Amino acid sequence: MAAPLYSQIEADALIAMPKRIEHAAWEKRKTGRPTDYEESTIVVAIPEVYDEKIVFAIEIRKNDLFDALSITLKGRIGKRPPEGLCRYDIHDNAHDNPPWFLPSFVNAGEFHRHVYQERSVQEFDRWDKCAQPLDLSPDGSPQQLHARLWWRFVGDLKIKFSDTETFGGLFGLIEMP
């Protein structure tokens, strides 16, 4: 049984906290090692009501071969390691959830999110074992589906932007074919 880095109360508070992507975050972004079909970008966000002990990272991973997209919010309190808190996905894999988490199954190709579950960390050593379907229209091009998922992520997680360059860069990454 793994020991969670964060309690459920801490994770829920971080998820609910209004966030702001830092000024010039696009210029300061980190990129993952690109492959032929996949790219990733990470930008830093802070609480809307500044707290020097809390920092967030938003990672966008896009796979053009499978038209897959995942957007992850990670959080860190103080000197503890960062932990995934929430990931919004669309991809071609189905998910089985643990018996204690409903629904028991999420279909392949269905918009869904993974939200931090302390029990999941304890039992499976994974914060993202549990998937919840998102009520979003499956109609449209891959770019339209990605934009729909992005705006749901931004809205649900109360994210604001400090500058138009970062907004344009992140949204451009989502929209690019």
Kindly report, residue by residue over 133-144, the tens digit of the pLDDT: 999 999 998 888
Write out the E strands in the chain.
Answer: 19-21, 30-31, 38-47, 54-63, 68-77, 83-90, 95-96, 105-106, 112-115, 131-133, 159-161
Say how far apart CA 143 and CA 145 lie, in whole Å: 5
| Nearest CA among 144, 134, 143, 129 for reference residue 110 | 134
- Asked, as a colleague might, if the bond just before 103 is cis with ω within 30 of 0, I would say yes
Residue 92 pLDDT: 83
What backbone phi and psi angles, to 5 degrees, belong to 16? -75, -20
pTM score, whole prediction = 0.91
Diameter of the chain by CA atoms? 44
Asked if the model's pLDDT at residue 176 lies above 90, the reply is: no
Residue 177 pLDDT: 45
Is-contact 82 64, C-beta < 8 A?
no
| Mean pLDDT value across residues 65-76 | 91
8-17, 48-57, 102-111: range with highest mean pLDDT:
8-17
